[in-house]
Amino acid sequence: VYLELLAKIDTVLLDKTGTLTYGKPHVALIDPVDGYEADELLRIAAAAERNSEHPLALAVVTAAQEKQLVIGEPSSFSYTPGKGVHATVDGHTIAVGNAAFLEEASVSLPALSNSAGARVLVAREGRFIGAIHIADQVRDGASEAIRELQEMGLQIELLTGDTGASANAIAESIGIRQVFSGLLPEQKSARVDELIHLGRTVAMIGDGINDAPALSHAHVGVAMGSGTEIAHASANVLLIGNDLRKFAATVRTARWCRAVILQNFYGTLVVDALGIALAAIGVINPLLAAFIHVSSELMFILNSTRLLPR
């Protein structure tokens, strides 16, 4: 079933963090407001994020650990997928997440400059106290994989919860033209549903909790080997390793396999129909008809051997 679907795919949707990038982002810049030191901002954010499994949260916690900062244990913690976390640290209410998340919490934000990387905003007791800028690295082979998929005529789209500046920078570097940024998990799955409604055959490639709904909605959900257990459970196909070129090779193989199957199927119909017709009007005798049938079947078997590894 999935061989057929992979051969028919005409649209590929990709997550960014952990899929197109290594998913091991690192803190590139700490930008506190007046009255806070960079280490203090990092410590507060790390304490709030320490129970989160999101790659950006892990980057913040790792940076704090590398600086040997004392990271407090939150007395309460809640996570909103695709947005951020609320936590209580040392008796203070902390919110860490994207701009929409803080605005929903009635936090007044200053004018924020565009950033090519991801950005984590931090608020304490409802007051904005700074931003942490996080960078990631594009996976080896990602650009080549995208080029191969595009050469096969597939429509490629990037779906991410990151900011437009971050998403566009990654997309431009690897040749993706259609970018949807700032998406929540349900918005990713809504895009999948929209394309399916338009008659497209959709593959979704992702690795995280935020991708799980979209993976389960797509015709073929593909989880990265390093992805979360939820992503693995939601996907139809697990990519061994994390090389997107393997997915491009899989699609090419599926198309090649389907083409050979159709050649054999229609070839058999044509030969058998022609043989029956010629036998019916007496042009060929039963012995010759049997020889033609066996010879054609042998030819189709030999045609199938083209699928064997070389």
pLDDT of 303 above 90:
no
Q: What is the pLDDT of residue 22?
A: 84
Residues 6+ apart with CB under 8 A from 277: none
pLDDT of 163 above 80:
no
* pLDDT tens track for 31-69: 999 999 999 999 999 999 999 888 889 899 999 999 999
Cβ 123 vs Cβ 27: under 8 Å: no
* pLDDT tens track for 124-159: 999 999 999 988 888 989 999 999 999 999 999 999
Write the Ramachandran bin of 304: left for phi over 0, alpha for psi from -120 to 50, otherwise beta: alpha
Provide Rg for the chain, Cα atoms.
Answer: 27
pLDDT of 170 above 60:
yes
* pLDDT tens track for 64-112: 999 999 998 999 999 988 789 999 999 999 999 998 899 999 999 988 7
Is 10 one of the catalytic residues? no
pTM of the model: 0.69
For 55-213, strand residue ranges (E) read 76-80, 84-89, 92-97, 118-124, 127-135, 155-159, 178-180, 202-206
Segment (H or E) for 250: helix 244-280
Confidence of residue 1 (pLDDT cuts 50, 70, 90): low
Q: What is the pLDDT of residue 227?
A: 81
Q: Mean per-residue pLDDT for 236-259?
A: 90
Interatomic CA distance for residues 188 and 218, integer angstroms:
10
Point out the catalytic residue in the list 10, 15, 90, 272: 15
